[in-house]
Amino acid sequence: MNGLQLIATGGALPGRTITNDALSRMVDTSDAWITSRTGIHTRHWCTEDESAVTLAIAAARQALDRSGLAPADIACCVCATLSAPDATPSVACQVQAALGLPENRPALDINAACSGFLYGMAVARGMLTTLGGQYALVIGCEALSRLMDPTDRSTCVLFGDGAGAAIFQLADTPFALTLGARGSDVLHAGGPSREGSAPITMDGKAVFRFAVDALPKCLHTVLDETRLTLDDLSWVVCHQANSRIIDHCIKALQADPAKFYKNMDRHGNTSAASIPVALNELAESGQLTPGRPLACIGFGGGLTWGGAILQYKE
């Protein structure tokens, strides 16, 4: 058994919904301007009592409940985030404590920005195969509203908060994974410094050029490895950065738009949370087909990228 099979999902969104009209009262923008350039209509921001940790715990608890597994069945917990409220304890360790996961199992955070959930899958798979165990909990969570400059209309309109979680099982099912990085600060979020944390900044045109190059390459790589075609896939779940990026790649791939899931209109760009939030929505709506492979493609800050093909439980 050397692949991962998706067996359960969970999700959590914060309590504050921010519409484009609300943003237009904060910065010089409009619903028409935002929608035409991004496809985003609303996004969710954390309330004062919410954080990446509270969202991660809620999503992880839901995934565990739906899996039918006991906490003792989880062999590792990996959390992908770039917006953890604390340097330590990690979000994963706080999830471990909240869910009562065994203390003799690894729990750690990773940061690969918008590709983080796919990097988390790779880390979890590696730990399962080297340390033993059958089930892994992988979370993507973000509170990007805490990192934004609310007066910068080029970024504050894009990002949202949320969390998604998935439980994976080692299985002999269709599976492929590719990861990569190209060091660049065209999308930058600064950590603590003498001057305080630097807000998110982005060269939108450079990020767009990177994304429309990385997305098709990742998809072709994992399709070639599994000897599958786009027609074999039930869904292609991309990082939800911008509808224009996905639409550009659909056209370049001459693909069926109906295969490419989109939810950025409701959530904005939630970085590491975007793919697991999308997977959870598909599972909740009954749109994940048991036994059918699907692709997940990530791309974003770092610059990092990743692609995976996996199967939903039969």
The residues annotated with a catalytic role in the active site are 114, 239, 269
Distance CA 101, CA 74 (A): 7
Give the C-alpha separation, 243 to 245, whole Å.
5
Could you tell me the sign of the dihedral formed by the alpha carbons of 135, 227, 279, 183, in that order? positive
Tally Cβ neighbours within 10 Å of residue 289: 15
Contact at 8 Å (CB) between 281 and 194?
no
- 132 Ramachandran zone, left/alpha/beta (phi>0; psi -120 to 50): left
Q: Please answer whether residues 63 and 137 qualify as being in contact, where contact means their C-beta atoms are separated by less than 8 angstroms.
A: yes
- Do 219 and 307 contact (CB within 8 A), yes or no? yes
Tokens 């292609």 locate to: 236
Q: At 241, give phi and psi (nearest 5°).
A: -90, -45
For residue 293, list its beta bridge partners: 311
Tokens of 45: 């921001």
Q: In the numeric block, which tokens belong to residue 78?
A: 């990996």
Q: Which residues contact 134 (CB under 8 A, 6 or more apart)?
A: 73, 75, 128, 169, 170
- Cβ neighbour number for residue 227 with a 10 Å cutoff: 9
The CA distance from 255 to 297, in Å, is: 15
CA atoms of 110 and 120, how far apart (whole Å): 7
**Under a CB-based contact definition with an 8 Å cutoff, are residues 221 and 213 in contact?**
no
